[in-house]
Amino acid sequence: MPRYVALVLLAACSTHEPPPWEAYEPWSDAWVLAHAETYVGDREARRDAMEASLTNPENLYGQARLGAYGLREGGWDALPEWQPRVEPLTDAHVDALVAGERPARPTTPFWNEETPTTWDEWSALGERVFFELPLRDEALWEPVVRDAALAARVGLVKDGDSWPGLVWVASVDGGATVGITCALCHVGVREGALEVGRARRELDYGVAQIESAERRGVTLDPVTRGRFESWGPGRADVIEDVADTPIAIPDLWGLREQRLLTQAGTLTHGDPMALAIRQETQYVQANRGRTRPPRVLMFALAVFLYDLRTPPAREVSDAAAAARGEATFRRECVRCHALSNGAGGLVSTAEVGTNPELGDGSARGTGGYRPSPLLRVVDAAPYLHHGAVESLSSLLSATRDEPGHDYGVGLAEDEKADLLVYLGGL
Ligand code: HEC
Ligand code: HEC
């Protein structure tokens, strides 16, 4: 770099230019997009944003990032960018697999390397990332898609002739296999229709692993098998490095309002960089630290998540009962479920009293749980961070077995009934 350019740059830094987003209303589309260039191009700003996003820098999640993300030299920034050759998995691939053939290896790179300029372009690119950019390849799904009954049993879904969440991806060894994307866990079904952003509560990863192993002639040791059996549908152990903490998959609506991400509030969501970094580092870890995703794609993914539309609320049958229920909610619940989407600030595990393993755990623990968002909560069963309570009435029941979150259990029966009507319309 010529000397005068360096001097000009130095001068620009020392005058403390206001950040490009300062001119906009926080969380507006323009404010979100104004972070793109800084996230993609400014390592130091990314490092700062990562540090600011760690609710508890001491846990393993925080330590891994502090040790490897946004370093001046080496670490995850130095990994090669992964531009996979990939296509959506379709019936044509599956038919070939059933016939004992290997479908052709995809040849088109995922992305043309053009940076979007408008909101809609960013969101459209992010949608492709969400559905098609594999977190990693997972050959375990091959025997599952070959058996339609098993595929349905473990919660795979079809959209026309494609399989949302599954792709066909070229592998390093010159072949190709099935890969998984965000849509595997974050596209769900309500009354027969697919909804993007809804948790895939039918997905039974554990049974998929067991059945796939059997079909491939792999013998699982009893401990591993027991773990897979214990997960149940709609829960996934997304923590790579600890034994067994299956977590309920959350719905992804209303993320712009969410100041804490994940059930234990592991991330503080102060700006879009926090979410883009979450996704970037999720890809790195899913790939076991071998590659990193292009950052433009991670920002696009964040924009797409912010752009997700919450499906319409259900009709409330009895407006008077809902109004009474709302009054109860304000009295008993809103001190924690304070935001307009129902979420709120961290509550200590001791206070909420639910199973503390995740919240106090060394992996992602923060000492607490975030009050769950309550958007469309009536369709979000089972409840709590580990999906341990099967219905809203059971959550409000004084005779429930699962400990913790005792709020409202002492209400009179008619008050509970009204509260349930109110919750049903959220
Ligand atoms: C194997 C299933 C699975 C896949 C695949 C998956 N997720 Fe998730 N996702 C989860 C689970 C489980 C959680 C809850 C984690 C926790 O609370 O610690 C979660 C949490 C999240 C959250 C936090 C939401 C909130 O309310 O705080 C976001 C955002 C998210 N996922 C986005 C994505 C994106 C984007 C992808 C693709 C890159 C993806 N997920 C892939 C299962 C999955
Ligand atoms: C002291 C704070 C606090 C109060 C008061 C409180 N909640 Fe919660 N709520 C939480 C926390 C924290 C969680 C998440 C706990 C977990 O996952 O282990 C939660 C979870 C929930 C969930 C689960 C949602 C899901 O998708 O899993 C529902 C439903 C809920 N609360 C409803 C209520 C209602 C109704 C009231 C009032 C009767 C109430 N809460 C009062 C803190 C509170």
Domain segments of the chain as ranges:
1-27, 78-307, 319-424
From residue 328, alpha-carbon distances to 114, 238, 318, 331, 408 in Å are 52, 36, 16, 5, 9
Do 373 and 342 form a contact (C-beta atoms < 8 A)?
Answer: yes
C-beta of 380 in contact with ligand 2 (< 6 A): yes
Whose C-alpha lies nearest to ligand 2, atom 34? Answer: 333
3-class DSSP state of 411: coil
Q: Find out whether 261 and 267 touch, Cβ atoms under 8 Å.
A: yes
**pLDDT tens digit sequence for 161-200:** 999 999 999 987 889 999 999 999 999 999 999 999 999 9
199, 249 contact by CB (below 8 A): yes
Cα gap 358→235, rounded to integer Å: 13
Give CA–CA dist 189/197, Å, rounded: 10
Residue minimizing CA distance to atom 40 of ligand 2: 333
Residues in the chain: 426
250 alpha carbon – ligand 1 mean position (Å):
7
Per CATH, is 319-424 categorized as 1.20.1440.230? no
| pLDDT per position as a tens digit, 110-161 | 999 999 999 999 999 999 999 999 999 999 999 999 999 999 999 999 999 9
* C-alpha 387 to ligand 2 mean position (Å): 13
Q: Which atom of ligand 2 is nearest to the CA of 346?
A: 12
pLDDT at 240 over 60: no
Ligand 2 pocket check for 198: Cβ under 6 Å: no
CB of 145 within 6 A of ligand 2: the answer is: no
Instruction: Evaluate: CB of 247 within 6 angstroms of ligand 1.
Output: yes
Residues 101 and 93: their CA atoms lie apart, in Å, by 9
- Output the residue whose Cα is nearest ligand 2's atom 32: 333
Query: What pLDDT sits at residue 1?
Result: 43
Side chain identity at 171, as an amino acid letter? Answer: S
Write the pLDDT tens digit of every residue in 345-375. 999 999 999 999 999 999 999 999 999 999 9
- CA pair distance 195, 251, nearest whole angstrom: 10
Q: Does 286 score more than 70 pLDDT?
A: yes
Q: Is the CB of 239 under 6 A from ligand 1?
A: no
The predicted structure's pLDDT at residue 15: 56
Strand partners, 180: 136, 166
pLDDT at res. 405:
98
Looking up tokens 């996230």 gives: 39
Return the ligand 2 atom nearest residue 408 CA: 38
**Closest ligand to residue 337's CA:** 2
Other beta carbons within 10 Å of 344: 22
Contact 423 CB / ligand 1 (< 6 Å): no
Tell me the C-alpha distance between 347 and 369, whole Å.
5
Ligand closest to 370 (CA) is 2
**Least distant ligand from the CA of 353:** 2
Angle (CA) 190 195 200, round 5°: 70
Q: How far apart are CA 314 and CA 311, in angstroms?
A: 9
- Mark residue 219 as left, alpha or beta (left: phi above 0; alpha: psi -120 to 50; beta: remaining): beta
